[in-house]
Chains A and B, each alone.
Chain A
Amino acid sequence: MSIRRISAIFEKDIKDLMKNAELLVMLTAPILLTLLLNRSTNGKITIPILYMVIGGIFTLVASGTIMTMMAEEKEKKTLRGLIQSPALLLDIIIGKSLVTLIGTLITLTVSLLIMGIGPLMNFRAALGLIMLFLFFLLIGISMGLFTNSLASVSVYLILLTFLFGFTPLISTLGSLDKGSIAVKIIDKFPIVQAMAIHKTSSWQPCGIMAIWVTGAAIITYVCFRKAMTDN
């Protein structure tokens, strides 16, 4: 790992981000969504709506940005001659994660300032947010390592948004039984657990989210190893 290389990739990607219309739209879309929601609910943002926006931001910005950046490097073969060892690939991932972190922070802060940051101003909720970010970032990295083209990124992103970003919507979609297995599984999804933090005072939701993050980290590690042996 080298700070020089990480900062090289970080500076390059920040400059590239500013000129990439696709990514800029991804970064600003959640803010527009927030503004619309805020207007239509007359400023009365409930916890489910708040987390729907947060889920949207995390999937589009955290997972989407890093996935797009990695897929583009692969598709345009810009990393040829740059990666000779796993350490160098790690440098690239860290540099890109930092760019993603900054993008997510900006979008999230603006959106939360519009909606009111009040409900999230406690330690457990903030911890939940951090774990959500890590989860979506790791999922984004593993999919970025996995895909080879920008076209497939949008497919994965739609799946990801539907499954993990807008999880609360799934339960309202169909007429699912309260006690069915599907509902029980969906109840354990990270966004739903993050909402549960506000309902109870126990640490159980945080624990379940930590398991999700660990799972995502393992998947990322497997994808990383696979990407290195493929080259």
Chain B
Amino acid sequence: MAPFVINQEILTSGAFSPFYLAVGDFQATAIYSDPDIQHELVKDLRSNTDIPVFDHQDGLYMRLTVESNIAFFHKWFGCREPLSEILVRFELQHDAKKPLHKCSESEIRRVCFAKYYMSGVPSAVFCEPIHGADIKTIRTFVRMLQTMKEQPTAVLILVSNLEHALLVGDVVYKLQPSGIKPVETEEDAATPEPESAAAPAFAKLFKISAKVDEKMILFDPPEIDYIESQDGKAMIVINNEKYAMDATMMETEKKLEAYGFYRCHRSYIVNLQKVREIITWSKNAYSLRIDNKIQSTIPLSRTKIQDIQEKFNLE
């Protein structure tokens, strides 16, 4: 049940500068990095530790039904929770009799989650657990994580997407070749940003500017999907495209407030006009779904849920 530690002895690949990280119980640690670095990290963890890395690449018995698969793993690992509860926990009860080769990607992903869950390991690493999964699957993962934390299991999650990292991780780090550094999560949102509030807020500003190479691009606020914070700088996000701004989050928030933008998370400012859906993952995990081509989801702090409901006049 002891939390595990990642240190120099484990990180031998040299793709990034080694770091020390203790992964504790009762909280999920997420590391956000680009896929190449993540790949190197997984390789190090695989070769230098015994901690199981769950990357849902395991084969399952495609000829057998969902129930037979789960029943096998249930018996193999000697899981104490009744089989029917496992099926319900992973929302597989309606597809129990369906052979796996007829199941969708997301259903197969949930069978994989069930296998990992039943293996009852004291510490686990998940690699891109919710990448490309549907809402139901993400929700079961968030719920599974909750239960695992209470057991307690030390959980480390590796993702290449900041939204996912903030959704699943209680403690989030960003890993770059230069090293690791914490990403601010909502817990420390009370402390004000260490910056000069001297930036003047223009009352009448119709364009927002970003730099691409040597060019200066001007955006109309309504076309922006949301603003994401990256290394303390604000990034304009429109569909898949990101444009770096030369301003901090706080400055941007002030500028855009008048255009119906809202700071829904420490690292995000959302264009309220573009919010399509408020997704509830669990009691205290929420996301906003944006009405753009790729249907991005961005995190919504639990402290902000009340506020945003008021803004939309929801009860």
> What distance in Å separates the Cβ of A123 from its nearest Cβ neighbour in chain B?
39
When distances are taken between beta carbons in the complex, the residues of chain A under 8 Å from B68 are 12, 15
Q: Assuming the A-B contacts A81-B52, A81-B115, A81-B119, are A5 and B75 also in contact, with contact meaning beta carbons closer than 8 angstroms in the complex?
A: yes
**B58 adjacent to A77 (CB under 8 Å):** yes
When distances are taken between beta carbons in the complex, the residues of chain A under 8 Å from B119 are 81
Partner among A5, A16, A81 whose Cβ is within 8 Å of the Cβ of B63: A16
Distance in angstroms between the alpha carbons of A78 and B71 in the assembled complex: 15
Q: For the complex, is A184 an interface residue (Cβ under 8 Å from B)?
A: no
**A12 adjacent to B61 (CB under 8 Å):** yes
Q: For the complex, is A178 an interface residue (Cβ under 8 Å from B)?
A: no
Distance in angstroms between the alpha carbons of A16 and B100 in the assembled complex: 12
Q: For the complex, is A8 an interface residue (Cβ under 8 Å from B)?
A: yes
**B64 adjacent to A15 (CB under 8 Å):** yes
**B58 adjacent to A81 (CB under 8 Å):** yes
**A77 adjacent to B59 (CB under 8 Å):** yes
When distances are taken between beta carbons in the complex, the residues of chain B under 8 Å from A16 are 61, 63-64
Partner among B60, B78, B99 whose Cβ is within 8 Å of the Cβ of A78: B60
Those of A211-228 within 8 Å (CB) of chain B: none
When distances are taken between beta carbons in the complex, the residues of chain A under 8 Å from B57 are 77, 80
> What distance in Å separates the Cβ of A13 from its nearest Cβ neighbour in chain B?
9
Q: For the complex, is B312 an interface residue (Cβ under 8 Å from A)?
A: no
When distances are taken between beta carbons in the complex, the residues of chain A under 8 Å from B60 are 78
Bitwise, B198-240 to A at CB < 8 A (1) or not (0) is: 0000000000000000000000000000000000000000000
Those of B34-92 within 8 Å (CB) of chain A: 52, 54, 57-64, 68, 71-72, 75-76, 78
Q: Give the size category of A's interface with B.
A: 10 to 19
Those of A5-58 within 8 Å (CB) of chain B: 5, 7-9, 11-12, 15-16, 19-20
Partner among A8, A9, A15, A80 whose Cβ is within 8 Å of the Cβ of B59: A80
> What distance in Å separates the Cβ of B177 from its nearest Cβ neighbour in chain A?
30
When distances are taken between beta carbons in the complex, the residues of chain A under 8 Å from B116 are 81
When distances are taken between beta carbons in the complex, the residues of chain A under 8 Å from B78 are 4-5
> What distance in Å separates the Cβ of A39 from its nearest Cβ neighbour in chain B?
34
Those of B102-158 within 8 Å (CB) of chain A: 115-116, 119
Q: Looking across the interface, which residue of chain A has its beta carbon closest to that of B55? A: A80
**A78 adjacent to B59 (CB under 8 Å):** yes
Contact surface of A with B, Cβ cutoff 8 Å: 4-5, 7-9, 11-12, 15-16, 19-20, 73, 76-78, 80-82
**B63 adjacent to A7 (CB under 8 Å):** no
Distance in angstroms between the alpha carbons of A4 and B76 in the assembled complex: 7
Distance in angstroms between the alpha carbons of A81 and B54 in the assembled complex: 9
Distance in angstroms between the alpha carbons of A4 and B77 in the assembled complex: 9
When distances are taken between beta carbons in the complex, the residues of chain B under 8 Å from A8 are 72, 75-76
> What distance in Å separates the Cβ of A76 from its nearest Cβ neighbour in chain B?
4
Bitwise, B294-309 to A at CB < 8 A (1) or not (0) is: 0000000000000000
**A5 adjacent to B76 (CB under 8 Å):** yes
> What distance in Å separates the Cβ of A179 from its nearest Cβ neighbour in chain B?
53
Distance in angstroms between the alpha carbons of A19 and B102 in the assembled complex: 14
**B75 adjacent to A11 (CB under 8 Å):** yes
When distances are taken between beta carbons in the complex, the residues of chain B under 8 Å from A78 are 58-61
**A7 adjacent to B75 (CB under 8 Å):** yes
Partner among B58, B62, B72, B99 whose Cβ is within 8 Å of the Cβ of A11: B72
Q: Assuming the A-B contacts A76-B59, A77-B58, are A82 and B76 also in contact, with contact meaning beta carbons closer than 8 angstroms in the complex?
A: yes
> What distance in Å separates the Cβ of B65 from its nearest Cβ neighbour in chain A?
8
**B63 adjacent to A19 (CB under 8 Å):** yes
Q: Can you list 25 pairs linking A and B with CB atoms under 8 Å apart?
A: A5-B76, A5-B78, A7-B75, A8-B72, A8-B75, A9-B72, A11-B72, A12-B64, A12-B68, A12-B72, A15-B64, A15-B68, A16-B61, A16-B64, A19-B63, A19-B64, A76-B62, A77-B57, A77-B59, A78-B61, A80-B57, A80-B59, A81-B115, A81-B119, A82-B76
Distance in angstroms between the alpha carbons of A8 and B52 in the assembled complex: 22
17 other contacts beyond A5-B75, A78-B58, with CB at 8 A cut-off? A8-B72, A8-B75, A8-B76, A9-B76, A11-B75, A12-B61, A12-B64, A12-B72, A15-B68, A16-B63, A19-B63, A19-B64, A76-B59, A78-B59, A78-B60, A78-B61, A82-B76
Interface centre among B61, B62, B68, B76 (most CB of A within 10 A): B76
When distances are taken between beta carbons in the complex, the residues of chain B under 8 Å from A15 are 64, 68
Q: Looking across the interface, which residue of chain A has its beta carbon closest to that of B76? A: A8
When distances are taken between beta carbons in the complex, the residues of chain A under 8 Å from B115 are 81
Interface centre among B57, B58, B60, B78 (most CB of A within 10 A): B58
Interface centre among B62, B75, B119 (most CB of A within 10 A): B75
Distance in angstroms between the alpha carbons of A15 and B66 in the assembled complex: 12
**B63 adjacent to A80 (CB under 8 Å):** no
When distances are taken between beta carbons in the complex, the residues of chain B under 8 Å from A76 are 59, 62
Q: Which 7 A-B pairs have the closest CB atoms?
A: A8-B75, A76-B59, A78-B59, A12-B72, A77-B59, A19-B63, A80-B58
